[in-house]
Amino acid sequence: MTAPVMARLSVVAAWDVSLVRRSVTQLDEVAGRLATWRGRLEGLGRSLQSGECWSGPAADSAVRALHDLSAVTWAVDAGLARSLEACHRLVSEAATAQELAGDALAAAALLRAGGDPDPPPRHLMSGLDGPAEAALRHAAAADAAGREAGEALAGLGVRDAVGPADFWDLLGHVPLTGPVITPAVPVRQPPDEVAAWWAGLSQAAQLAVIAGSPAALGALDGVPAWARDRANRRLLDRALVDPRTSEGAAVTARAVARRIAAEEATGQVVQLQLLDLEGDRVALSLGDLDTADAVALLVPGVFNTPGDDLNGLVADAVDVGAATRAAAPGTAVAAVVWLGYRTPSHPGEAVVRTSARRGGRALAAALDGLAAARRSVAAPEARTTVVAHSYGTWVVDEAADEPGILEADAVVLLGSPGLEDDAASLEAPAVFDAAAPADLISWANWFGSRHTWEGGYGSTGLPTELTTGHSQYFDPDRPTLAAMGEVVAGTRSPE
C-alpha cells in the first residue's frame, strides 16, 4: 500500500457520513411535504376549472396561474425524487467506504506498531490491498452518486448548492409549454407501482391520459379517485349516446347516471370509481375518497346488480355516512357502494365460492389502491372499514386470503351465512358482526363451519333487534346502523 493510497484512505475514513445522512433525511421530509402541497394545488386548480365555486375572467387567470405553479412544483418534485435516489446511494456507498478505509488503516497501524517500516513493504501489505481497494471503489461510487444528485437538480437552476432566488427565477428554468405525449397506462401492475407512476406525471400528462385512455385508467387501482371519476364519466357519457351500447349495458348506464344526478342535486360529492358496463360492475362513492377521514366500502351479497339495485344500495351508503357523522361530528366520510364483482344471480351460484373468489381479488386490489394513492402524495391515511352483507362477507374472507395484509382498519359482517377460520384470519385490527335471531341466513353454514356470532369466532357483536330481518341491518330506525357508524368513525372499540 503506497503513501498516496494511505492518504486517500485517511480522507475517506474522516468523512462525516452521519452529517450527510441527516441532510438526506431532511431533504426526504421536504420532498414529502412538497408532494402534499402539489396535490393541494392541483385539487384547487380542478375545483376552479369546474366553475362551480368561481367563474369569469379572474377565475380563468387564477386557473392559469395555478397550472403554472403546478408545472413548477411537478418539475421540482421530479428533480428532487431523482436527486434523492442518488443521495441515498451516496450515503450507502460512503458508509461502506468509510468502514473499509478504517479497517485498512487500522491493520496498517498494527503492522507499523510491530516495528515494520512506514510504509510497510508491499509483500507485507498484500493482505490489506483487498479492503483498501474496496474502500476506494465504494468511495468512487459515492462520488459518482453525489455528482448524479447534483445533475438531477441542474435543470432547476441549482449550481454548487445554490438554487434560484425566488419563484420567478425558478420559473425561468422550467418549461411550461410544449407537446404532451400521452403516457402508456401500466395495466396489470400492482397498485403501489401504479400510484408511483401517476404521481410522477405532470398535470398535463395526467389529463392527457384521462382523455386518451379512460377505459384503462378508470379501472386502475392506485390512481386517485378524482382521476378515475373523470375517466369513468367519459365512459358513461359515451355509453349513454352510443347506439352500439348493448341493452343490458345501457340499462346500467342510465341507472348510474340517474343516481349520480340525484345525489349531486343534493350537494353530495359523488365519484364514479369503477364502470364496467359489460361486466355489470360499478363502484360509486358518496364523498371524496382522496380527502375523506373515514372510508366505508359496502360489499353487497347475492342478486344485487347496478341496473336493478343501485338506488337501494346508495340509500344504505347515505345512511352509513350519516351515522358516521353522527358518531363523530365534523368527520369527512366517503361511503362506497362497491359492486366491484358480479354477484351471484341464481341459487346455484349463491352456494359456491366462485363469485366470492373473483370478488375477493378485486376487493383486495381496490383497498390496496385506495391506500397507495394516498401514500403516493403523502396524504394522511383514511380510516377504512369494509361493511359486508350476507354473501359479501365471503368476499371479504377471500380478499383476506390474497397476498399481503388486508388494507382495512375494521370489518363489519352483517348477516353472514358462516365463514371459515376465525375473525383473526380477516387480518383487520377490529372485526364486528351483527346477526339477529330472526335472520335465518345467519344461522346457516353455507360457506364455512363457523357462525360469526359464536363466542369462539372472535368478533365483537353489534346491537340488533329480535325482529331484524336479513336485509334490515341498514334500517335507520334499528340500532345496528348507529353502531356501524361508530365503527366507521372509529369511536366503537372491539371487545
Helices in 219-305 by DSSP H: which ranges? 225-241, 247-265
Q: Please tell me whether residues 308 and 380 are part of one structural domain.
A: yes
Residue 435: pLDDT over 70:
yes
Would you say residue 220 lies in a domain?
Answer: yes
User: Residue 19 class from Cβ within 10 Å (0-12 exposed, 13-18 middle, 19+ buried)?
Assistant: exposed
pLDDT digits (tens, 9 = 90+) for 203-214: 778 888 998 899
Q: Please tell me whether residues 448 and 393 are part of one structural domain.
A: yes
Residue 124: pLDDT over 50:
no
pLDDT of residue 127: 46
Residue 125: pLDDT over 60:
no
pLDDT of residue 350: 75
Q: Please tell me whether residues 292 and 149 are part of one structural domain.
A: no
Residue 333: pLDDT over 90:
yes
Is residue 174 within 8 Å of 72, Cβ to Cβ? Answer: yes
Is residue 382 within 8 Å of 294, Cβ to Cβ? Answer: yes
- How much is the average pLDDT of 272-299? 97
Q: Please say whether the dihedral angle defined by the alpha carbons of residues 246, 247, 249 and 250, taken in this order, is positive or negative.
A: positive
Q: Please tell me whether residues 424 and 477 are part of one structural domain.
A: yes
Q: Please tell me whether residues 10 and 62 are part of one structural domain.
A: yes
3-state secondary structure of 295: strand
d(CA 366, CA 273): 10
Q: Please tell me whether residues 358 and 209 are part of one structural domain.
A: yes
Residue 316: pLDDT over 60:
yes
Band (351; pLDDT cuts 50, 70, 90): confident
Q: How many domains, in total, are found in the chain?
A: 2
Q: Please tell me whether residues 268 and 155 are part of one structural domain.
A: no
For the chain, the maximum distance between any two Cα atoms, rounded to a whole number of angstroms, is: 97
Preceding omega of 119 cis (within 30 degrees of 0)? yes
Q: What is the CATH number of the domain that holds 216?
A: 3.40.50.1820
> Beta-carbon neighbour count of residue 3 at 10 Å?
9
Residue 123: pLDDT over 50:
no
Q: Please tell me whether residues 38 and 81 are part of one structural domain.
A: yes
Domain end (from 140, 171, 202) = 171
Residue 250: pLDDT over 90:
yes
d(CA 400, CA 363): 9
Contacts for 366 with CB less than 8 Å, ≥ 6 apart: 221, 273, 274, 283, 297, 338, 340
pLDDT of residue 52: 65
Would you say residue 495 lies in a domain?
Answer: no
d(CA 436, CA 461): 10
Q: Please tell me whether residues 203 and 159 are part of one structural domain.
A: no
Is residue 307 within 8 Å of 255, Cβ to Cβ? Answer: yes
Query: Mean pLDDT, the chain, as a whole number?
Result: 87
Q: Which domain holds residue 78?
A: 3-171
pLDDT of residue 121: 47
The DSSP 8-state label assigned to residue 188 in this structure reads T
- How much is the average pLDDT of 425-440? 96
Residue 438: pLDDT over 50:
yes
Regarding predicted confidence, which is higher, 64 or 98? 98
pLDDT of residue 1: 58
Q: Please tell me whether residues 225 and 321 are part of one structural domain.
A: yes
Cell numbers given for 312: 337501494
- How much is the average pLDDT of 161-165? 73
Would you say residue 21 lies in a domain?
Answer: yes
Would you say residue 400 lies in a domain?
Answer: yes
Whole-number percent of the chain with pLDDT over 70 = 89
Domain end (from 171, 206, 241) = 171
Q: Which of 147, 135, 43, 124 is nearest to 94 (CA)?
A: 135
d(CA 140, CA 54): 56
pLDDT of residue 132: 83
Would you say residue 184 lies in a domain?
Answer: no
d(CA 292, CA 325): 12
Would you say residue 454 lies in a domain?
Answer: yes
Would you say residue 112 lies in a domain?
Answer: yes
Would you say residue 307 lies in a domain?
Answer: yes
Report how far apart, in Å, the C-alpha atoms of 190 and of each of 187, 196, 402 are. Answer: 9, 10, 13
Q: Please tell me whether residues 233 and 292 are part of one structural domain.
A: yes
Report how far apart, in Å, the C-alpha atoms of 160 and of each of 11, 146, 163, 386, 410 are. Answer: 21, 12, 8, 52, 51
Q: In this predicted structure, which of 38-42, 353-357, 410-414 has the lowest mean pLDDT?
A: 38-42
Regarding predicted confidence, which is higher, 238 or 455? 238
Q: Please tell me whether residues 119 and 204 are part of one structural domain.
A: no
Residue 21: pLDDT over 60:
yes
Whole-number percent of the chain with pLDDT over 90 = 56
pTM of the predicted protein model = 0.75
